[in-house]
Structure formats: structure tokens, C-alpha cells
């Protein structure tokens, strides 16, 4: 059977737009001779809809949208559509909706499979919304049996994972049913379809490929996973849909970070041509570009503005923004204080020139002086300190927001994950913005991504990459005045923030002084309040700040 895998980029809640997109891809699949075209999980409403699922209207609109797809399939010769959507349950007990896969053919929904395994860890809250499937059944199309699963349903293979998260394995259950099929059906290739909305993080593509190959080999089946593509708030879905043959070799694969349609023919014996492996740095770059583009556009904006300090973080974000939105849509603002070096301003200007973006210089020292004058009745006799440092950062935030309000450009936040982890950032200052583009990128990775940005020509000035990092909020300030060097700091932070290691384990495994480790971990604990008021962070690691990491603020935590 010729099956088209259509990885589309839906917008959450945009039923009209999503249906239009689905029908356009279904049309392409028809032209390519597919009998079935498969779309991602919850493709009709977009993933993740979150608490929109609790609104009756929303669920009703999804039903209408499914009807529109059904109408399209009514015309003879058109392929069947397998598509994810939300469905109201009829049950008197439990949650009110299902996460469903609808097999739509010849004008109506021929078969429905509900999702059985509902993830509820990290960024996933599916048990909050969905009633789990009670049964998992094989269906068929033109005599070809199909095992239809939804995302997590294929992620609980006991022979692949060291620890199972759920007692059930829907794939195993489906494969058992194969035995009781008619002889003619049994003679057909085994086909497992998986509709997914599986967000990107470093290394995830490898996990998916290995897992799907293991599943294919274990069950002697074709496994075809269709994954959503696109950014939705913090999450970036990479697509990278994949069809694996029963021998574990790749039969077809979708592109990463763009919409795509690829064909799997389960009656042919094709192996997909190999493709050059992309480095994790390149994948992360693409994730950040797509996440930025989709956030800005799905929020109804075209333009972005950001502060350019001459430092590497803002330079990298500017480079990402230009690739995401086009140079004509990015505005860079230099906001030097009396502590800014001349070099920094020149570096910012050179960056803007290299990127071809507009650059404006708005010095902040006069506003700062005026603030100090107003505060003098309260501050007289106190020493220059944190209040004054943060104030400079907040003046910059105020200027960026004024420009944003005036010209309708979203502010991009430029802080990295090392800063967000340690609280080395100013709430309402450099943390202002609609989106924290590199808030899930530790400083050492910021360097790698900056080198990637310069892969064809120098975009980020060499001086920006090579000078010692500084916030430039007091004379001769360096990051290393307050923090250990990043090659010591980042591994500590990764272990604590992403893997929840204890101080003792970090000190031992990383060969770092325990007192230093504790000092860093205390910074993390003390800055939780800042992170809870941060802009959405584009997630590119297994554990990023935001919805997937939920810590209380008013606590007494021992580190």
C-alpha cells in the first residue's frame, strides 16, 4: 500500500487554516498515488492545545473540522486520511475528551482509535485532559491490516526501555491480534502507523530512530511515524517523520524543521537513500530559527527588536532572528551605559552591518542619572550595588518595550541558560521579551552555535566571540567575578538543572570542590522566582525551564 506521510505545521486553534493545510497535502498525496495519507497527532487543532481542550466550543469545532476532511474524501479516487483530533467522550466517569486518530475514507470516519498511553511528565499534561483508550484494535483499509497508534502508545516497548512508564504496551497488544486475522490479511505486510507530536530536544532524533527500528524488528513490521513540525510557544516540533522497514532499515524519512510529504510503499522493497547526518549544533540552530519564526508569526507579528550589547548572546539571537524573519524585520538597539566599553558598541555595530539589520544607538546614562536623582531621597548614603546594576538593565528593558509598543515588533530576550540557571540576569531588565530564544542553551553551546552562525562568512564579529563575557553594569565587570568559568559552571548546571544530581554526586563525578558546587546550586535555588516570570523559553534539551520544570518558590531546599 502506498502511504503518504504528511508532516504539517498546524497552528493551535486555527481549525480553518489547519483543515486547509491538511486538504492541500492530501491533494498532493492523491497526485502521488497514495491510498492513505497520514497526518500528525491532534493535527486538526494543533498540538499542544492545553486547557483549550476543556472548552466545549473547541471540541465542537474539532468535530466540524473532521467533517470537512470527510467531505473531501467522499470523491471517488481520493486517498483515505488518517488524522489526529480531539473527540468528546460519552463516558459518565472520568475525563471528557479523547486524544483520537480518525481514519477517514469515502466521506466518513471509518475507524477511531483513542490514545491509550497519556504522557504526564516534563512538558506533557495529557492525563489532565484525556480519558485513556480502553481498547486497542487493528483495523484495515482495502484488506491491508493497520495498527494505528498515537505517539506515546509506541514508546513503552519493554525490550527497548530500561524502565517502563506504563503497565500496558499497545503495540504488543495490536501485534497479538495479527495472529487471529484471516489468512489473506495475515499475508499482507505488517504495518504500524504512529501519529505523533514529539517535540525536539538534543539527541531525540537518535532515540526515535533507534526505538522505531527496534519496534520494527521486534514485530517484523513496517513502522511509520508522522511527526508534527513547527514551533508552538516553547516547543519546537522537528518533523523528521520516519518509516522503518521490518529489518530496521529506513524506508522513508521526512525533512527536519520544514513541512514535508514522503511516500512509503509497503509492497515495494525500497530503502531510503542515506542523508548526511546533521550535527546537534545544526539541528539546534534550525530548531531555534523555526521556533522564533513560528512564535513571532503565530502571534500575528512580523518584526522583532532586540538589544545588542556587543556580547555573544545578543549577537547569536540576532543572527537567529535574521534567519527566522529576514534582515528587514529585525531591529537592533545598542544601549550603552557609562560602563560599556567602546569596543562593545563597535562590535554591536559590526554585527548589525554583517547581518544587514537596522541599528540604533540609545545611550542610557542620562536616564540612569535622572533615576538616581529621583531615588536620592531614599538612596543617599548607600553604596552603588545591585540596585544600581539592575536599574541600568531595567532602563534597557523599558526602552526595548517602548520601541516594541510603538512599532509593533516583538522583543526577543537574549539571556542564555547558564544565566537563567544562576539568576545572573535581571527580572524586567535583560529578561524582558516575548520569547527567550536561547534560554535553553548553556553558554558553552552559545559559542558552538555562534561558530555555526559564522559557517559561511563572519556574521558574529570575532571580537564578540573572543572577549571575556561581561554584563558591563559596573566598572571592569567580568562574569568570572561572580561565577566560575563556564567550562566548570555549565557541567555543574547541566547535572543539577537537567538531571537532578545531588551536590555530592556532581562534586565527585566532575572533580569539583563540593563547596563551589553548593554555591552554584544555591544560586539556582534562589533564582526560581525570576524564571517563573521569564518569557517562554524555546526548548532544545530534555529539561528546559518553563512548563516542563515545575518548582515552588517559597521553600527551604537543602542543596
Q: Does 302 bind a copy of itself (CB under 8 A)?
A: no
The CB-of-53 to a copy of itself minimum distance in angstroms stands at: 10
Q: Are the C-beta atoms of residues 3 and 263 closer than 8 Å to each other?
A: yes
Query: Which of 44, 150, 171, 547: binder of a copy of itself (CB under 8 A)?
Result: 547
Catalytic status, residue 115: yes
* DSSP helix/strand/coil, 92: coil
The CB-of-130 to a copy of itself minimum distance in angstroms stands at: 11
Q: Does 165 bind a copy of itself (CB under 8 A)?
A: yes
**Which range in 312-320, 347-355, 380-388, 442-450 contacts a copy of itself by CB under 8 A?**
380-388
Q: Are the C-beta atoms of residues 412 and 292 closer than 8 Å to each other?
A: yes
Q: H or E element: which one contains 306?
A: strand 303-307
Query: Which of 106, 182, 279, 405: binder of a copy of itself (CB under 8 A)?
Result: 405
Q: Are the C-beta atoms of residues 160 and 211 closer than 8 Å to each other?
A: yes
Burial 379-402 (b: 16+ CB within 10 A, else e): beeeeeeeebbbbbbbbbbbbbee
Catalytic annotation, pick one of 21, 45, 83, 151: 151
Q: Does 233 bind a copy of itself (CB under 8 A)?
A: yes
**Which range in 102-110, 203-211, 427-435, 453-461 contacts a copy of itself by CB under 8 A?**
427-435
- Among all chains, which residue has been given the C-alpha cell 477517514? 104
- Among all chains, which residue has been given the C-alpha cell 467531505? 71
Identity of the residue, 458 or 509, whose beta carbon is nearer to a copy of itself in the bound complex: 509
Q: Does 522 bind a copy of itself (CB under 8 A)?
A: no
Rounded distance, CA 538 to CA 546, Å?
9
Identity of the residue, 310 or 536, whose beta carbon is nearer to a copy of itself in the bound complex: 536
Q: Does 164 bind a copy of itself (CB under 8 A)?
A: yes
Identity of the residue, 281 or 502, whose beta carbon is nearer to a copy of itself in the bound complex: 502
- Per the structure block, which three cell numbers stand in for 317? 539571537
Q: Are the C-beta atoms of residues 259 and 30 closer than 8 Å to each other?
A: no
Q: H or E element: which one contains 244?
A: strand 242-244
Q: Does 166 bind a copy of itself (CB under 8 A)?
A: yes
List CB contacts of 298: < 8 A, sequence separation 6 or more: 11, 12, 231, 232
Query: Which of 203, 387, 480, 485: binder of a copy of itself (CB under 8 A)?
Result: 387
The CB-of-83 to a copy of itself minimum distance in angstroms stands at: 19
Q: What is the number of other CB atoms lying within 10 angstroms of the CB of residue 175?
A: 19
Of residues 43 through 62, those in contact with a copy of itself by CB under 8 A are 46, 48-52, 54-57, 61
Partnered with residue 334 across adjacent β-strands are 361
Q: Does 339 bind a copy of itself (CB under 8 A)?
A: no
The CB-of-139 to a copy of itself minimum distance in angstroms stands at: 27
Q: What is the DSSP string of 318-350?
A: HHHHHHHH-GGGEEEEE---TTS-HHHHHHHHH
Q: Does 173 bind a copy of itself (CB under 8 A)?
A: no
Q: Which of 218, 237, 235, 234 is nearest to 226 (CA)?
A: 237
Identity of the residue, 275 or 529, whose beta carbon is nearer to a copy of itself in the bound complex: 529
- Among all chains, which residue has been given the C-alpha cell 558574529? 460
Of residues 435 through 494, those in contact with a copy of itself by CB under 8 A are none
Catalytic annotation, pick one of 21, 45, 115, 472: 115
Rounded distance, CA 116 to CA 131, Å?
8
Rounded distance, CA 557 to CA 446, Å?
30
Q: Does 515 bind a copy of itself (CB under 8 A)?
A: no
Rounded distance, CA 337 to CA 556, Å?
37
Q: Output DSSP code: residue 163.
A: S
The CB-of-407 to a copy of itself minimum distance in angstroms stands at: 8
Of residues 90 through 129, those in contact with a copy of itself by CB under 8 A are 92-94, 120-121, 125, 127-128
Rounded distance, CA 236 to CA 198, Å?
9
Query: Which of 190, 253, 394, 539: binder of a copy of itself (CB under 8 A)?
Result: 394
Of residues 59 through 88, those in contact with a copy of itself by CB under 8 A are 61
Query: Which of 39, 200, 295, 486: binder of a copy of itself (CB under 8 A)?
Result: 295
Query: Which of 160, 178, 339, 371: binder of a copy of itself (CB under 8 A)?
Result: 371
Query: Which of 374, 455, 480, 485: binder of a copy of itself (CB under 8 A)?
Result: 374
The CB-of-519 to a copy of itself minimum distance in angstroms stands at: 17
Q: H or E element: which one contains 237?
A: strand 235-238
**Which range in 253-261, 379-387, 447-455, 508-516 contacts a copy of itself by CB under 8 A?**
379-387
Could you give the residue numbers annotated as active site? 41, 115, 151
Amino acid at each position: 500500500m502506498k502511504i503518504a506521510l504528511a508532516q504539517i505545521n498546524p497552528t493551535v486553534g486555527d481549525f480553518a487554516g489547519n483543515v486547509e493545510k491538511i486538504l492541500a497535502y492530501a491533494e498532493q498525496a492523491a497526485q502521488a498515488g497514495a491510498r492513505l495519507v497520514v497526518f500528525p497527532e491532534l493535527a486538526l487543532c494543533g498540538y499542544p492545545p492545553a486547557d483549550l481542550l476543556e472548552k466545549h466550543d473547541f471540541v465542537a469545532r474539532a468535530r466540524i473540522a473532521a467533517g470537512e476532511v470527510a467531505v473531501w474524501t467522499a470523491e471517488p479516487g481520493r486517498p483515505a486520511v488518517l488524522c489526529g483530533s480531539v473527540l468528546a467522550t460519552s463516558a459518565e466517569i472520568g475525563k471528557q475528551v479523547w486524544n483520537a486518530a480518525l481514519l477517514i475514507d469515502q466521506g466518513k470516519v471509518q475507524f477511531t482509535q483513542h490514545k491509550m498511553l497519556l504522557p504526564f511528565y516534563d512538558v506533557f499534561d495529557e492525563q489532565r485532559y484525556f480519558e485513556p483508550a480502553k481498547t486497542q484494535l487493528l483495523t484495515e483499509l482495502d484488506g491491508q491490516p493497520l495498527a494505528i497508534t498515537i505517539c506515546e502508545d509506541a514508546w513503552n516497548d519493554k525490550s527497548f526501555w530500561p524502565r517502563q512508564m506504563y503497565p500496558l504496551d499497545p503495540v504488543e497488544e495490536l501485534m497479538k491480534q495479527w495472529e487471529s486475522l484471516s489468512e489473506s490479511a495475515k499475508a499482507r505486510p505488517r504495518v504500524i502507523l504512529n501519529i505523533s507530536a514529539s517535540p525536539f530536544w538534543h539527541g531525540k532524533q537518535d532515540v526515535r530512530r533507534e526505538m522505531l527500528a527496534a519496534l520494527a524488528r521486534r514485530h517484523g513490521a513496517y513502522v511509520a511515524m508522522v511527526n508534527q513540525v513547527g514551533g508552538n510557544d516553547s516547543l519546537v516540533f522537528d518533523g523528521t517523520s520516519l518509516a522503518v522497514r521490518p529489518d530496521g532499515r529506513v524506508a522513508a524519512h521526512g525533512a527536519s524543521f520544514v513541512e514535508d510529504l514522503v511516500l512509503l510503499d509497503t509492497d515495494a522493497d525500497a530503502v531510503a537513500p542515506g542523508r548526511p547526518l546533521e550535527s546537534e549544533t545544526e539541528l539546534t540552530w534550525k530548531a531555534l530559527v523555526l521556533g522564533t519564526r513560528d512564535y513571532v508569526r503565530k502571534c500575528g507579528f512580523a518584526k522583532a527588536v532586540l538589544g545588542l550589547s556587543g556580547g555573544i548572546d545578543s549577537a547569536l539571537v540576532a543572527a537567529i532572528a535574521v534567519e527566522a524573519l529576514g534582515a528587514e524585520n529585525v531591529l537592533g538597539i545598542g544601549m550603552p551605559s557609562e560602563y560599556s566599553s567602546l569596543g562593545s558598541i563597535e562590535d554591536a555595530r559590526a554585527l548589525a552591518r554583517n547581518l544587514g539589520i537596522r541599528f540604533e544607538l540609545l545611550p542610557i546614562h542620562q536616564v540612569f542619572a535622572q533615576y538616581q536623582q529621583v531615588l536620592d531621597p531614599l538612596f543617599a548614603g548607600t553604596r552603588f550595588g545591585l540596585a544600581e546594576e539592575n536599574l541600568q538593565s531595567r532602563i534597557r528593558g523599558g526602552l526595548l518595550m517602548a520601541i516594541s509598543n510603538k512599532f509593533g515588533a516583538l522583543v526577543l530576550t537574549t539571556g542564555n541558560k547558564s544565566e537563567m540557571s544562576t539568576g545572573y540576569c535581571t527580572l524586567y531588565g535583560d529578561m524582558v521579551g516575548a520569547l527567550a530564544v536561547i534560554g535553553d542553551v548553556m553558554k558553552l553551546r552559545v559559542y558552538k552555535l555562534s561558530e555555526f552562525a559564522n559557517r559561511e562568512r563572519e556574521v558574529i564579529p570575532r571580537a564578540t566571540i573572543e572577549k571575556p563575557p561581561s554584563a558591563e553594569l559596573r566598572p571592569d565587570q567580568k562574569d568570572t567575578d561572580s561565577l566560575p568559568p563556564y567550562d566548570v559552571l555549565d557541567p555543574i548546571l547541566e547535572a543539577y538543572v537537567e538531571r537532578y544530581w545531588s551536590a555530592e554526586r556532581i562534586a565527585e563525578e566532575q572533580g569539583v570542590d563540593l563547596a563551589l558546587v553548593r554555591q552554584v546550586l544555591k544560586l539556582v535555588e534562589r533564582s526560581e522566582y525570576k524564571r517563573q516570570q521569564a518569557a517562554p523559553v524555546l526548548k532544545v534539551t530534555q529539561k528546559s525551564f518553563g512548563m516542563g520544570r515545575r518548582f515552588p518558590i517559597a521553600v527551604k531546599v537543602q542543596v
